[in-house]
Amino acid sequence: MLCASIGAMSIYSEINEKQRTYFNSGATLSYDFRIKNLRTLKTALKANEENILEALNADLGKSMFEGYATELGIVYEEIGWLEKHLRKLMKPSKAKTPITQFRAKSYIMHEPMGTVLIMSPWNYPLQLTMVPLAGAIAGGNTAVVKPSRYSKHTSELMISILRKTFPEEYIASFDGGHETNTALLEQRWDMIFFTGSPNVGKIVHQAANKYLTPCILELGGKSPVIIDSSADIPLTAKRLAWGKFLNAGQTCVAPDYVLACNSVIPALIEALKKEIEKMFSQDPLKSEDLPKIINEKHYQRLAGLLEDANVVYGGKRDDETRKIAPTIISPASWDDKAMQEEIFGPLLPILSVESVDEAIKIVRSHEKPLALYIFSKKKENIRKVLSSLSFGGGCVNDTVVHLTAPELPFGGIGNSGMGCYHGKRSFQAFTHDKAIMDKALWIDLPVRYAPFKGKLKLLRMLMR
Ligand code: NAD
């Protein structure tokens, strides 16, 4: 056992060392190298498209449509965006020089972080591995990728694609569970990009502390939906049901629970039922479009959350297929089991509030969420919610779709994460802004040098 773990450790340190040497050779720095490898990644994914969609189906029961829309398609768009903007992103940015430093040029170089570690979860196994990897490539880094073991089929396929496509000194990938993660976290990285739960995020952050390694933590938590009395209920129900039951609720930015004004709750429940039946039929457990729960552990956890719930709709499940029908819990309360943790499944508790102000108070008394959604026609209520609550990102009158825009940063705040990515922010996440002041040789202002007698007046004029 000891030998195995020492052996295993050496694999990680060996790769880490190889990548560091490769990075230090300067091979990953040029625009040509980065663009070529972004394209190589896209080509490799395209060549394996059918296998990827099948693997996603095997892991999570995702339909081909959902697999393409929420995984492959998003990766293609991200790579496309980076390809289009890479040259400009890599250019040093100009900055102003203060008069006291006359004469100089100031600029910011966007240097790669170096050798980075990317750890991803199982719920969008392809997207949450490949989008950060595209950012790492665009940034000019080497990368070690560690997908989740829970999404076995997709993770094994990704590892095999990456191993066939890239040399390990540039991009390496490892299979494995916690032990592998722990061994990887013991290595020295120039940056760690982690997506997963807040609890494991804390473990990653603690490990990163050893070398003060910068981290991007993409975490989760309970993301609320606020619905006021002016909301367009049929459209609200449609967009809410879509965002909640996508991937059977196993989405980090899925609406976790609803805070709805009393007066709209009966109509909201009726409209939600209608939408659920339109999307998944009257027997959702038989629908090919309803994904399954990733594994027995999470399936049993979700079954446990239903134990004390007031189920007004749904609630059925199938132990064989690990599918849980879209379920509405109402009235729900903060004492319910489903309100004690991030649900991460197709259960939707609806809590009643008197007003938007009450909803704001409730959200404020909990951890800052990754996402927040407000459904309203009243500008004043929308403004109040957006300006008084802190959360990663969100939508007005929709759910989840904010993460489809590469120009919008995607990330949490506080307990829901630190740092962000997507588009320009992915490049920024995987690069360091190095500040340079390049001084002219032909002049050297004497003000800053001692003796200072008689210079204060001039200094006051220059630095006001
Ligand atoms: P998780 O935190 O349990 O696991 C994430 C990764 O960490 C996996 O690769 C896992 O093997 C590893 N891990 C688990 N325990 C570990 C330990 N003790 N030490 C080291 N590594 C460990 O998360 P999950 O169950 O895979 O995913 C669900 C969570 O991720 C939810 O909280 C969800 O909201 C969040 N999430 C966030 C985003 C985002 O973009 N912000 C996206 C997807 C999921």
Pocket probe for ligand 1: among 78, 178, 200, the residue whose CB has the most ligand atoms within 8 Å is 200
Q: How far is the CA of 398 from the centre of ligand 1 (A)?
A: 26
Helix (H) or strand (E) holding 129: helix 127-138
Q: Is 203 in the pocket of ligand 1 (CB under 6 A)?
A: yes
351 phi, psi to nearest 5 deg: -110, 145
Does the annotation count 252 as an active-site position? yes
CA 8 to chain CA centroid, nearest Å: 29
What is the Cα–Cα distance from 70 to 451, expressed in whole angstroms?
Answer: 66
Q: Is 154 in the pocket of ligand 1 (CB under 6 A)?
A: no
Q: How far is the CA of 44 from the centre of ligand 1 (A)?
A: 26
Pocket probe for ligand 1: among 193, 195, 408, the residue whose CB has the most ligand atoms within 8 Å is 195
Q: How far is the CA of 195 from the centre of ligand 1 (A)?
A: 6
pLDDT at 464: 87
State which ligand 1 atom lies nearest to the alpha carbon of 203: 19
pLDDT at 317: 97
pLDDT at 8: 46
Q: Is 219 in the pocket of ligand 1 (CB under 6 A)?
A: yes
Q: How far is the CA of 426 from the centre of ligand 1 (A)?
A: 20
Q: Is 117 in the pocket of ligand 1 (CB under 6 A)?
A: no
The catalytic residue among 66, 218, 275, 342 is 218
Q: How far is the CA of 11 from the centre of ligand 1 (A)?
A: 23
Q: How far is the CA of 273 from the centre of ligand 1 (A)?
A: 31
Closest listed residue to residue 393, CA positions, set 257, 231, 218: 218
Q: Is 180 in the pocket of ligand 1 (CB under 6 A)?
A: no
pLDDT at 7: 47
Q: Is 119 in the pocket of ligand 1 (CB under 6 A)?
A: yes
Q: Is 122 in the pocket of ligand 1 (CB under 6 A)?
A: yes
What is the Cα–Cα distance from 139 to 114, expressed in whole angstroms?
Answer: 9
Q: Is 411 in the pocket of ligand 1 (CB under 6 A)?
A: no
Q: Is 252 in the pocket of ligand 1 (CB under 6 A)?
A: yes
Pair 276, 351: CB distance under 8 Å: no
Does the annotation count 3 as an active-site position? no
What is the Cα–Cα distance from 85 to 73, expressed in whole angstroms?
Answer: 18
Q: How far is the CA of 143 from the centre of ligand 1 (A)?
A: 19
State which ligand 1 atom lies nearest to the alpha carbon of 120: 9
Cis check: omega of the bond before 39, within 30 degrees of 0: no
State which ligand 1 atom lies nearest to the alpha carbon of 147: 9
Q: How far is the CA of 280 from the centre of ligand 1 (A)?
A: 28
pLDDT at 10: 79
pTM, two decimals, is 0.95
The pLDDT tens digits along the chain (464 residues) read 333 344 445 799 999 999 999 999 999 999 999 999 999 999 999 999 999 999 999 999 999 999 999 999 999 999 999 999 999 999 999 999 999 999 999 999 999 999 999 999 999 999 999 999 999 999 999 999 999 999 999 999 999 999 999 999 999 999 999 999 999 999 999 999 999 999 999 999 999 999 999 999 999 999 999 999 999 999 999 999 999 999 999 999 999 999 999 999 999 999 999 999 999 999 999 999 999 999 999 999 999 999 999 999 999 999 999 999 999 999 999 999 999 999 999 999 999 999 999 999 999 999 999 999 999 999 999 999 999 999 999 999 999 999 999 899 999 999 999 999 999 999 999 999 999 999 999 999 999 999 999 999 999 998 98
State which ligand 1 atom lies nearest to the alpha carbon of 392: 41
The protein residue whose alpha carbon is closest to atom 16 in ligand 1 is 178
The residues, ordered by sequence, that sit 6+ positions from 31 with a Cβ below 8 Å of its Cβ are: 86, 87, 90
Q: Is 121 in the pocket of ligand 1 (CB under 6 A)?
A: yes
The catalytic residue among 66, 78, 252, 261 is 252
Q: Is 293 in the pocket of ligand 1 (CB under 6 A)?
A: no
Digit-coded pLDDT (tens) for 299-356: 999 999 999 999 999 999 999 999 999 999 999 999 999 999 999 999 999 999 999 9
Q: Is 249 in the pocket of ligand 1 (CB under 6 A)?
A: no
pLDDT at 13: 96
What is the Cα–Cα distance from 342 to 369, expressed in whole angstroms?
Answer: 10
Q: What is the DSSP string of 236-298?
A: HHHHHHHHHHGGGG--TTS--EEEEEGGGHHHHHHHHHHHHHHHH-S-GGG-TTSPPPSSHHH
